[in-house]
């Protein structure tokens, strides 16, 4: 894609740097996008996905890196937003040479971008990358305390955001008896289901991987639903924890919930879909505000890591979400607009 078309790309938002790379030794190719470094170096996971075109990979990199800037600002972290997206199959293409190629691309950005685990990568993959770059976080420090996996913290942050959403929408602190439909029960969705189950929530679950669904059905007494039917289930809350763009022209009229609050990135296919949810009286939790738990976790790497310190920080998502909802209500704006205001003030856009 030419430079001119990049600058006119609908998801280009004054990104500081965008690197398209190809490693001849391993054949790995992808995009690393740096959105903003006002508060510090950009941080964002390394995502491996079988994109069909380079344009798809670029769009994902631009949108995800922008979301990371907002997420870091709302989490009060001295970081900016970045993302690496790799065009590959995570089940068949990974090797040490593969991750060496990615690490070399990360090194080319001279510390402006720090990578971590994401969809299609694992903590073990990050350990491999650490051999070839120092710009990687989310590594295990003490296996007796923590294995470096950020997903339980992401899930805990989403749970805190759901609690705040219930408080604002239903005026209660009680979750018992509510029904939550979870779209995507991989690592993040799996841990979220356990938290919801412990809180007395009835769970409806779907996933493209039948083994993931079977696990939460057995362990959390979830009710299974086909993935294409999740949009129309009757529930109090829909929690998207798969890939983005699920709130769109085809799905928005199907929703039968009062709240949408989940960890998937970029849930709104277009900004106008936030207004459409509001018109239907559906409370939407901005995804980059509610899903910051994993990002918070990886900033606590080091020999002095204490799990409780991270949990205390992640717990603050509850108050952040209430602040966003209250600001939106007071100003007569959407929650996404209120979250944008808070974040943009913090990273220097306004």
What's the fold here for domain 3-64+80-130? Rossmann fold (3.40.50)
Dig out the tokens for 239 from the structure: 């929690």
Pairwise CA distance, residues 86 & 128, whole Å: 16
CATH 3.40.50.10860 boundaries in the chain: 3-64+80-130
**Is 241:182 a contact under the CB 8 Å cutoff?**
yes
Pairwise CA distance, residues 296 & 327, whole Å: 24
Residue 233 CA from chain centroid, whole number: 23
Dig out the tokens for 324 from the structure: 């966003």
List, for residues 30-49, the tens digit of each pLDDT value. 999 999 999 999 999 999 99
pLDDT attached to residue 146: 62
Pairwise CA distance, residues 321 & 236, whole Å: 18
Give the pairing of strands 46-49 and 17-22. Answer: unpaired
Dig out the tokens for 272 from the structure: 């106008």
CATH 3.40.50.720 boundaries in the chain: 151-346
pLDDT attached to residue 345: 86
pLDDT attached to residue 13: 92
Query: Which are the contacts of 198, defined by CB distance < 8 A and separation ≥ 6?
Result: none
Q: In CATH, what is the architecture of 151-346? A: 3-Layer(aba) Sandwich (3.40)
pLDDT attached to residue 144: 47
pLDDT attached to residue 350: 63
pLDDT attached to residue 293: 94
Annotation says 83 is catalytic:
yes
Dig out the tokens for 220 from the structure: 């959390």
Neighbours of 59 (CB within 10 A): 20
Q: Which of 83, 94, 100, 112 is catalytic?
A: 83
Dig out the tokens for 32 from the structure: 């690393």
Tell the burial category of 257 from Cβ atoms under 10 Å away from its Cβ (0-12, 13-18, 19+): buried
**Is 149:117 a contact under the CB 8 Å cutoff?**
yes
3-state secondary structure of 284: strand
Distances in whole angstroms, Cα of residue 16 to Cα of each of 38, 148, 278 = 10, 29, 33
Beta-strand runs (E) in the chain: 17-22, 29-36, 42-43, 46-49, 80-87, 113-114, 179-183, 202-206, 223-224, 237-240, 259-260, 283-284
**Is 57:45 a contact under the CB 8 Å cutoff?**
no
Dig out the tokens for 85 from the structure: 């997206």
pLDDT attached to residue 142: 58
Query: Which are the contacts of 171, defined by CB distance < 8 A and separation ≥ 6?
Result: none
Which of the 8 DSSP states describes residue 133?
-
Dihedral angle, C-alpha 321, 322, 327, 328, nearest 10 °? 70
Q: Each residue's pLDDT tens digit in the chain (350 positions)?
A: 445 578 889 999 999 999 999 999 999 999 999 999 999 999 999 999 999 999 999 999 999 999 899 999 999 899 999 999 999 999 999 999 999 999 999 999 999 999 998 989 998 999 999 999 999 998 876 544 566 688 899 999 999 999 999 999 999 999 999 999 999 999 999 999 999 999 999 999 999 999 999 999 999 999 999 999 999 999 999 999 998 899 999 999 999 999 999 999 889 999 899 999 999 999 999 998 999 998 898 888 776 778 899 999 999 999 999 999 999 999 999 999 999 998 998 888 76
């Amino acid at each position: 894609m030419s430079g001119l078309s990049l600058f006119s790309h609908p998801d280009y938002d004054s990104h500081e740097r965008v690197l398209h790379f190809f490693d001849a030794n391993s054949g790995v190719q992808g995009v690393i996008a740096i959105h903003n470094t006002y508060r510090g170096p950009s941080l964002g996971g390394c995502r491996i996905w079988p994109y069909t075109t380079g344009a798809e990979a670029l769009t994902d990199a631009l949108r995800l890196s922008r979301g990371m800037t907002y997420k870091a600002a709302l989490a009060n972290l001295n970081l900016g937003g970045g993302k690496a997206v790799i065009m590959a199959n995570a089940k068949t293409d990974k090797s040490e040479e593969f991750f060496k190629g990615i690490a070399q691309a990360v090194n080319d950005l001279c510390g402006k971008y720090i990578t971590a685990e994401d969809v299609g990568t694992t903590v073990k993959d990050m350990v491999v990358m650490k051999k070839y770059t120092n710009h990687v976080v989310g590594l295990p420090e003490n296996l007796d305390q923590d294995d470096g996996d950020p997903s339980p913290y992401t899930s805990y942050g989403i749970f805190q955001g759901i609690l705040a959403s219930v408080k604002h929408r239903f005026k209660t602190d009680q979750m018992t008896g509510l029904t939550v439909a979870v779209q995507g029960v991989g690592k993040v969705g799996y841990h979220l289901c356990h938290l919801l189950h412990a809180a007395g929530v009835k769970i409806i679950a779907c996933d493209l991987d039948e083994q993931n669904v079977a696990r939460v059905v057995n362990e959390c007494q979830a009710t299974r639903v086909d993935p294409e039917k999740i949009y129309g289930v009757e529930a109090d809350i829909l929690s998207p924890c798969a890939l983005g763009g699920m709130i769109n022209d085809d799905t928005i009229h199907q929703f039968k919930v009062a709240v949408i609050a989940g960890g998937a990135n970029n849930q709104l296919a277009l900004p106008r879909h936030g207004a459409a949810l509001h018109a239907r009286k559906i409370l939407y939790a901005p995804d980059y505000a509610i899903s910051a738990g994993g990002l918070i976790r990886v900033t606590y790497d080091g020999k002095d890591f204490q799990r409780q310190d991270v949990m205390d920080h992640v717990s603050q998502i509850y108050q952040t979400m209430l602040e966003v909802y209250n600001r939106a209500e007071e100003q007569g704006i959407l929650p996404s607009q209120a979250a944008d205001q808070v974040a943009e003030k913090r990273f220097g856009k306004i």
